[in-house]
Amino acid sequence: MASVNDLTSQAGFVFEGEVVEVGASTARSFAATPESTVVRVTRILKSTPTLAMYTGQQITVQMEQPTSLKVGEQAVFFTHGLHFGDGLVVSEVGNVPAGDATMQDQVNSAAQSASDTELTQRLAQATLVVSGVASAPAPLSPAAGPLAATVVGTGTRPISEHDPDWWQAIIKVATVEKGTSPGATTTVIFPHSMDIAWYRAPKVKEGDTGIWLLQNRDLRGRPVPAPAIVHPQDFQPEPAMSRVRSLLTSAQ
């Protein structure tokens, strides 16, 4: 049986819930199966912003296999979002019995550990890490880099439905935490697109202040037209500075 630490690291939505109905679905467009179980969310332990408001609501959990849980039983479910149409459906990674008073602390500790590991990897891959404040963003100019003309559609590569729609902002540099000093300012680009391939990437706003992990490749390892932030961990708010500096030690 997987540990709470392992389950938490694999799951984006962790909650305690009560089984309401087995072999049923809350979503009209998601057909019930023997593996689908309607669960009322009683407490959220880990969530994305999109799912944070589901306390007290009934959702469908698509179990890994037909569940042995009975109506009225409670468990802690480790899941990922699966269907967001006329009713929420999540896919189960695993579940454990409810009632452990330390469960929230266990989930928090596991989530922090996973986040630290992920951030350490992003710091190791970054070509430049600076702190500073962002200017108002604007669409990326074709003159911004050797690949920019292709990326913004003026070259030969056609724009796909998953095109990142690169935008740029100027960072007024306060400190350089990794890499060669760029001077008083540096340019950062980011995917402005809300397509599924890019919606989790940081979206820069004027006045954003924090730590910027500039990367030279996207999440698929492809070159980007200029130093970019493409991963949720690539921008950290200003209070995270001590954490970033600590993790940089192990990343270098």
**CATH code assigned at 56:** 2.40.50.120
CB contact at 8 A, 77 and 17: yes
146 and 223 fall within a common domain:
yes
125 and 210 fall within a common domain:
yes
Domain boundary among 65, 100, 135: 100
124 and 228 fall within a common domain:
yes
Residue pLDDT, tens place only, 178-225: 999 999 999 999 999 988 789 889 999 999 999 999 999 999 999 999
Distance between CA atoms of residues 30 and 147, nearest Å: 42
Share of the chain above pLDDT 90, in %: 76
157 and 53 fall within a common domain:
no
Q: How confident is the model at residue 158 (pLDDT cuts 50, 70, 90)?
A: very low
Mean pLDDT of the chain: 90
153 pLDDT above the threshold of 70: no
199 and 84 fall within a common domain:
no
Amino acid at 16: E
Distance between CA atoms of residues 170 and 158, nearest Å: 27
Distance between CA atoms of residues 21 and 87, nearest Å: 15
Residue pLDDT, tens place only, 106-130: 999 999 998 999 999 999 999 999 9
Burial 42-59 (b: 16+ CB within 10 A, else e): eebbbbeeebeebeeebb
The reply to whether 81 falls in a domain is yes
Query: If phi over 0 gives left and psi between -120 and 50 gives alpha, with beta otherwise, what is residue 9?
Result: alpha
The total of structural domains in the chain comes to 2
Q: What is the pLDDT of residue 224?
A: 96
- Which residue range forms the structural domain that includes residue 56? 4-100
Q: What is the pLDDT of residue 251?
A: 64
The reply to whether 159 falls in a domain is yes
Distance between CA atoms of residues 61 and 55, nearest Å: 14
Distance between CA atoms of residues 133 and 205, nearest Å: 10
Distance between CA atoms of residues 191 and 197, nearest Å: 10
The reply to whether 243 falls in a domain is yes
168 and 242 fall within a common domain:
yes
The reply to whether 108 falls in a domain is no
Q: What is the pLDDT of residue 76?
A: 96
Domain boundary among 47, 65, 100: 100
The reply to whether 212 falls in a domain is yes
Q: How confident is the model at residue 147 (pLDDT cuts 50, 70, 90)?
A: very low
Q: What is the pLDDT of residue 150?
A: 41
148 pLDDT above the threshold of 60: no
Amino acid at 60: T
76 and 187 fall within a common domain:
no
83 and 202 fall within a common domain:
no
Burial 225-252 (b: 16+ CB within 10 A, else e): bbbbbbbebbbbeeeebeebeebbeebe
| Residue 16 CB partners (closer than 8 Å, separation 6+) | 41, 42, 43, 44, 45, 74, 75, 76, 77, 98, 103
1 pLDDT above the threshold of 90: no
Distance between CA atoms of residues 147 and 4, nearest Å: 44
pTM for the full predicted model: 0.71
Mean pLDDT across the stretch 20-26?
96
Residue pLDDT, tens place only, 62-92: 998 888 899 999 999 999 998 888 899 999 9
Distance between CA atoms of residues 98 and 18, nearest Å: 9
The reply to whether 106 falls in a domain is no
127 and 43 fall within a common domain:
no
Q: How confident is the model at residue 142 (pLDDT cuts 50, 70, 90)?
A: low
244 and 120 fall within a common domain:
yes
Distance between CA atoms of residues 108 and 5, nearest Å: 9
Q: What is the pLDDT of residue 95?
A: 94
23 and 119 fall within a common domain:
no
Domain boundary among 38, 69, 100: 100
The reply to whether 67 falls in a domain is yes
The reply to whether 107 falls in a domain is no
CB contact at 8 A, 134 and 188: yes
182 and 122 fall within a common domain:
yes
> Cα torsion for 54, 56, 59, 63, to the nearest 10°?
100
149 pLDDT above the threshold of 80: no
